Amino acid sequence: MSERTFCMLKPDAVAGRHIGEIINRFERVGLTIERLEMGMVTLDQAKANYAEHKGKPFYDGLLTYITSGPVVKMIIAGSDAVKICRKLMGATNPLEAAPGTIRGDFGLVMDANVIHGSDSHESADREIAIFFT
């Protein structure tokens, strides 16, 4: 069933000039880039997006990092888009992300792991509303 998910290329992906190569990976499996916007994440958007991590030791650093430079925000559509995007992204920690995945190929450390992607339909709806209003 066709569905939508939210993905965001984090500041390290943009600074590293990997935008084109990463977006290509979504398109070549047949997903559709339905909306795309480059810009800064506001502190309010960062807090809303990462609300589930409030209070964790990495939370403050995560907010600082995600608001530190331009990102690329996307709505990606297609069959099982949420799960397919997570699969293409790879494990959260680049140390564990398999070669061939986005985090495995472009990331080195957890603090700058290249990409964000919604982990469920509910998160996708919530995150699309945060970033595309």
Question: Residues interacting with ligand IDP, by CB under 6 A?
Answer: 53, 58, 62, 92, 110-111, 113, 116, 119
Q: Are strands 32-39 and 2-9 parallel, antiparallel or unpaired?
A: unpaired
Closer Cβ to ligand IDP, 68 or 92, answer by number: 92
Listed in sequence order, the residues at least 6 apart from 47 whose beta carbon sits closer than 8 Å to its beta carbon are: 54, 63
Closer Cβ to Mg ion, 3 or 119, answer by number: 119
Other C-beta atoms within 10 Å of 25: how many?
A: 17
Range 103-122, binding Mg ion (CB under 5 A): 119
Q: Report, in Å, the least distance between residue 59 CB and Mg ion.
A: 13
Closer Cβ to ligand IDP, 80 or 119, answer by number: 119
Q: DSSP assignment of 33-67, as one string?
A: EEEEEEEPPPHHHHHHHTGGGTTSTTHHHHHHHHT
Q: Report, in Å, the least distance between residue 27 CB and ligand IDP.
A: 21
The site for Mg ion (CB under 5 A) is made up of 119
The residues carrying an active-site annotation are 116
